[in-house]
């Protein structure tokens, strides 16, 4: 499932593929109308056809693409959902397996927004005024772009009785940290995911922040490339504890990784290493 690292890779690929390019035509899949809501597939396409690509930013799991159309800025907000991905194909018209929209560029390439499970989302943002979009306005500073402010993190955790794993999934606190990154970062930091957020010491908050950044950077280094595949699609599992219930812990090599459910989501951890 795409989280901060996978969306960062998508942003880097899109920058490379779209630099200076113009969208000649967009073919949205009429049956995938959920992806374009509240717009219709046709009105989504009309909003961006003829536009030229400019800046591409990422905040958390959101991709903010600024384009220029008829001399004015227009935005594309893209969220990969659970299985979304951007793929580039030469313009021979062959669609990728779960292609939901095809962007035909002026260099002959075609960008596919591919999404098996249809939780992804593409939306035109008038004037590229992303700050007016509620899901963007509520996001905290991006951990990779801006680093993690220890004071702010310690303050937020210190006021919460929630299990630390659940608390750090808040996108207003740590945008881009999802279920996978949360388990991996807590393993990195040797912190039991069940502990109350406010029980963490200052040293543990620092270890957690370090664990998040280290996990983000390691995941980007491991997965970066033009074609990404997710564990949920049957790809090889690149993570240390995520989805490894019953396997031996890669650090202590003695305990088995345990799976528990917190706030309706799976958490994976080593009961021996994480205290």
Using CB under 5 A as the binding criterion, the count of chain residues that bind Zn ion stands at 7
First to last CA, the chain: 27
Q: Which of 174, 239, 171, 244 is closest to 205 using CA atoms?
A: 174
72 binds Zn ion (CB under 5 A): no
Distance CA 84, CA 257 (A): 28
273 binds Zn ion (CB under 5 A): yes
194 binds Zn ion (CB under 5 A): no
Among 110, 153, 249, 258, binds Zn ion (CB under 5 A): 249
Pairing of strands 99-105, 84-90: unpaired
32 binds Zn ion (CB under 5 A): no
Cβ closest to Zn ion, residue 214 vs residue 255: 255
Residue at shortest CB range from Zn ion: 249
Q: Which of 23, 107, 10 is closest to 63 using CA atoms?
A: 10
Among 251, 259, 265, 266, binds Zn ion (CB under 5 A): 251
240 binds Zn ion (CB under 5 A): no
Told to judge if 61 belongs to the known catalytic residues of this protein, a careful annotator would answer yes
Told to judge if 15 belongs to the known catalytic residues of this protein, a careful annotator would answer no
Q: Which residues contact 203 (CB under 8 A, 6 or more apart)?
A: none
190 binds Zn ion (CB under 5 A): no
45 binds Zn ion (CB under 5 A): no
10 binds Zn ion (CB under 5 A): no
Cβ closest to Zn ion, residue 21 vs residue 190: 190
Per CB under 5 A, contacts with Zn ion among 207-236 are none
Residue in 28, 29, 61, 165 annotated catalytic: 61
Applying CB under 5 A, which part among 62-70, 79-87, 211-219, 252-260 lies near Zn ion? 252-260
Q: Tokens representing 85?
A: 């991905």
Told to judge if 25 belongs to the known catalytic residues of this protein, a careful annotator would answer no
258 binds Zn ion (CB under 5 A): no
Among 252, 256, 263, 275, binds Zn ion (CB under 5 A): 252
Go through the chain and tell me how many residues it has: 275
272 binds Zn ion (CB under 5 A): yes
270 binds Zn ion (CB under 5 A): yes
Q: How far is the CB of 165 from Zn ion (least distance, A)?
A: 17
What is the binding site for Zn ion (CB under 5 A)?
Answer: 249, 251-252, 255, 270, 272-273
Q: What is the set of active-site residues?
A: 2-3, 61, 265
């Amino acid at each position: 499932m795409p989280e901060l690292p996978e969306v960062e890779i998508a942003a880097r690929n899109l920058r490379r593929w779209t630099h200076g390019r113009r969208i000649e035509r967009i073919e949205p899949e009429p049956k995938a109308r959920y992806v374009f809501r509240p717009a219709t597939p046709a009105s989504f396409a009309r909003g961006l056809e003829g536009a030229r690509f400019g800046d591409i930013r990422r905040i958390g799991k959101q991709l903010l693409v600024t384009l220029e159309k008829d001399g004015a800025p227009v935005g594309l907000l893209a969220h990969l959902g659970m299985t979304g991905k951007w793929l580039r194909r030469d313009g021979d018209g062959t669609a990728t397996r779960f292609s939901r929209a095809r962007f035909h560029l002026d260099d002959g390439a075609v960008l596919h927004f591919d999404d098996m499970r249809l939780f992804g989302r593409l939306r035109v943002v008038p004037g590229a005024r992303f700050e007016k979009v509620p899901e963007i306005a509520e996001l905290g500073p991006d951990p990779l772009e801006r680093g993690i402010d220890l004071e702010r993190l310690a303050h937020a955790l210190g006021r919460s009785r929630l299990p630390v794993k659940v608390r750090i999934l808040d996108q207003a606190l740590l945008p881009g940290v999802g279920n996978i990154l949360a388990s991996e970062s807590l393993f990195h930091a040797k912190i039991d995911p069940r502990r109350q957020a406010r029980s963490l010491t200052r040293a543990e908050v620092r270890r957690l922040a370090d664990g998040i950044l280290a996990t983000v950077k390691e995941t980007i280094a491991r997965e970066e490339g033009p074609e990404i595949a997710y564990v949920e699609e049957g790809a090889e599992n690149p993570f240390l504890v995520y989805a490894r219930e019953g396997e031996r812990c890669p650090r202590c090599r003695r305990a088995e990784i345990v799976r528990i459910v917190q706030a309706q989501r799976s958490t994976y951890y080593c009961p021996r290493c994480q205290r």
